[in-house]
């Protein structure tokens, strides 16, 4: 068990200019479950591979505990890549399947048995130890695979999109297993996924990457409540945050007829790049639904209502007379917003509703840089 530190770690692929991972600074605590998340090409897998020793580090360094492992071979780093390959050997018992890597390494038999039994207990496999793999269910076989990594007692577990090969049902099952297993073992784990829901549900902390750069790292709650820039705001949370850019005049943000007051301190912090515009985000659940003609409410034409039983979401467009409508983006597209409504009082399709962002629930970002105020 150990901490992991990326210290200005950089990877530039030969022949390219932009680094795949750009001076990454990230410290992962001993025993922490950290998720690296981001869109395809953001550098999350590359970062993981740098930690594994499968990618050269062009600048900066990587430490496991106090040890600089930047130039150390993968097999000497005391890490375990979980789920890279798990074919269970049909003629060996579950116990032998779990322990054979130790057998190869020459670990004494008694110690192998002990470690295998410990791992089996954590994985609820104790009663299957002497059975053959064919007597196990799909979920149990997954756990044997995890057992293989656990018995090696590595300092860090690395997982690169381990659920992508699995069918949907096994995916949810395995997700829960991995999370609870990590909690019991307390081994530092670095987990890569492109799925932000997976990240939110599994990680102690989440690190969002984009174009090789770390955007923000924090607990799921921090990431959800206080995204540090527009990208993180739109990436974390499903349905995604509604994000709009308004011109600011007379201390108010203007979207057509609707005027929203803006604090003096925000306006004072405007940069030249912002050009007197303000980017505001609000989550679908952060609005009050009011009659369409309420003063200072933003009118929205209802296109689709998604009724999920416990929740309902309205996918709507902004009425067109405002010209500024195109500056709004959401998970539904340009000039569209997604709004959560009371499932017992859903508006009809084609109806116009008014929405007002609840006080304090708006997120304000610089229109120029995208950074949070």
Partner 1 sequence: MSPTPQRLQITAASPDPALLDLPWDVPLEEWPAETLAALPRGISRHIVRFARLSGRVIAIKEIGETVAYREYELLRQLSRIDVPSVEPVGVITGRRAPDGEPLEAVLITEHLQFSLPYRALFSQSLRPDTATRLIDALAVLLVRLHLAGFYWGDVSLSNTLFRRDAETFEAYLVDAETGDLHDKLSEGQRAYDLEVARVNIIGELMDLQAGEFLEDDVDAVAIGNALAERYTDLWRALTEVETFGYGERWRVQARIDRLNDLGFDVGELDITTDVDGTTVHIQPKVVDAGHHSRRLMRLTGLDVGENQARRLLNDLDEFRAATDRQAEDESFVAHDWLTGVFEPAVRRVPRELRGKLEPAQVFHELLDHRWYLSQQQQRDVPMKEAAKSYVKNILPNRPDERSILGVQAGDIRETAQIPVLPDDEIIG
In the complex, least distance from residue 281 CB atom to partner 1, rounded to whole angstroms: 30
In order of 81, 158, 224, 286, the CA distances from 205 in angstroms are 20, 15, 11, 24
Cβ proximity to partner 1, 18 vs 134, nearer residue: 134
Cβ proximity to partner 1, 129 vs 278, nearer residue: 129
In the complex, least distance from residue 182 CB atom to partner 1, rounded to whole angstroms: 22
In the complex, least distance from residue 286 CB atom to partner 1, rounded to whole angstroms: 33
What's the CA gap between 278 and 29, in Å, rounded?
37
Catalog residues that contact partner 1 under the rule CB under 8 A.
13-15, 52-56, 73-75, 84-92, 96, 100-101, 103-104, 128, 131, 133-141, 164-167
In the complex, least distance from residue 82 CB atom to partner 1, rounded to whole angstroms: 13
In the complex, least distance from residue 164 CB atom to partner 1, rounded to whole angstroms: 6
In the complex, least distance from residue 170 CB atom to partner 1, rounded to whole angstroms: 10
Structure tokens at 225: 């409540």
- Is the CB of residue 183 less than 8 Å from the CB of residue 25? no
Cβ proximity to partner 1, 72 vs 290, nearer residue: 72
What's the CA gap between 186 and 155, in Å, rounded?
10
Cβ proximity to partner 1, 112 vs 357, nearer residue: 112
Q: Please, how many CA atoms are within 13 Å of residue 230, restricted to the half-sphere of its CB?
A: 17
Cβ proximity to partner 1, 88 vs 364, nearer residue: 88
What's the CA gap between 280 and 227, in Å, rounded?
12
Cβ proximity to partner 1, 13 vs 65, nearer residue: 13
Sheet with 4-11, side-by-side order of all strands: 21-28, 4-11, 59-64, 67-68
Cβ proximity to partner 1, 76 vs 268, nearer residue: 76
In order of 24, 96, 292, the CA distances from 130 in angstroms are 46, 8, 68
- The residues near 229 (Cβ < 8 Å, ≥ 6 apart) are 215, 216, 365, 369, 370, 371, 372
In the complex, least distance from residue 25 CB atom to partner 1, rounded to whole angstroms: 22
- Is the CB of residue 312 less than 8 Å from the CB of residue 305? yes
Q: Tell me the Cα Rg of the chain.
A: 25
């Amino acid at each position: 068990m150990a901490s992991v530190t990326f210290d200005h770690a950089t990877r530039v692929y030969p022949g390219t200019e932009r680094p795949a991972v750009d001076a990454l600074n990230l410290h992962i605590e001993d025993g922490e479950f950290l998720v690296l998340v981001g869109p395809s090409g953001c550098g999350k897998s590359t970062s993981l591979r740098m930690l594994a020793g499968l990618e050269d580090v062009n600048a900066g360094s990587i430490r496991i505990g106090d040890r600089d492992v930047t130039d150390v071979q993968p097999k000497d780093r005391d890490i375990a890549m979980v789920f890279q390959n798990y074919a269970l050997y049909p003629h060996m018992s579950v116990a032998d399947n779990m322990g054979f890597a130790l057998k190869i390494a020459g670990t004494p038999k008694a110690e192998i048995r002990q470690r295998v039994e410990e791992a089996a207990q954590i994985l609820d496999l104790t009663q299957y130890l002497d059975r053959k793999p064919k007597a196990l269910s799909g979920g149990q076989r997954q756990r044997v695979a995890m057992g293989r990594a656990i018995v090696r007692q590595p300092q860090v577990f690395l997982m690169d999109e381990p659920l992508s090969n699995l069918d949907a049902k096994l995916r949810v099952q395995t997700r829960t297993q991995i999370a609870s297993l990590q909690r019991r073992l307390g081994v530092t784990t670095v987990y890569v996924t492109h799925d932000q829901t997976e990240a939110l549900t599994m990680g102690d902390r989440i690190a969002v990457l984009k174009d090789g750069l770390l955007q923000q790292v924090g607990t799921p709650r921090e990431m959800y409540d206080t995204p540090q820039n527009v990208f993180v705001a739109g990436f974390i949370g499903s349905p995604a945050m509604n994000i709009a850019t308004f011109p600011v005049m007379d201390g108010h943000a203007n979207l057509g007829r609707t005027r929203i007051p803006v604090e003096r301190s925000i306006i004072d912090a405007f940069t030249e790049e912002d050009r007197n515009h303000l980017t505001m985000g609000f989550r679908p659940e952060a609005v009050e639904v009011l009659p369409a003609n309420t003063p200072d409410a933003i009118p929205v034409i209802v296109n689709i209502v998604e009724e999920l039983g416990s929740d309902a979401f309205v996918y709507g467009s902004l009425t067109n007379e405002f010209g500024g409508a195109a500056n709004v983006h959401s998970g539904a597209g340009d000039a569209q917003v997604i709004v959560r409504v009371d499932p017992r009082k859903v508006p009809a399709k084609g109806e116009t509703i008014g929405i007002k962002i609840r006080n304090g629930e708006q997120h304000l970002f610089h229109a120029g840089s995208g950074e949070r105020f």
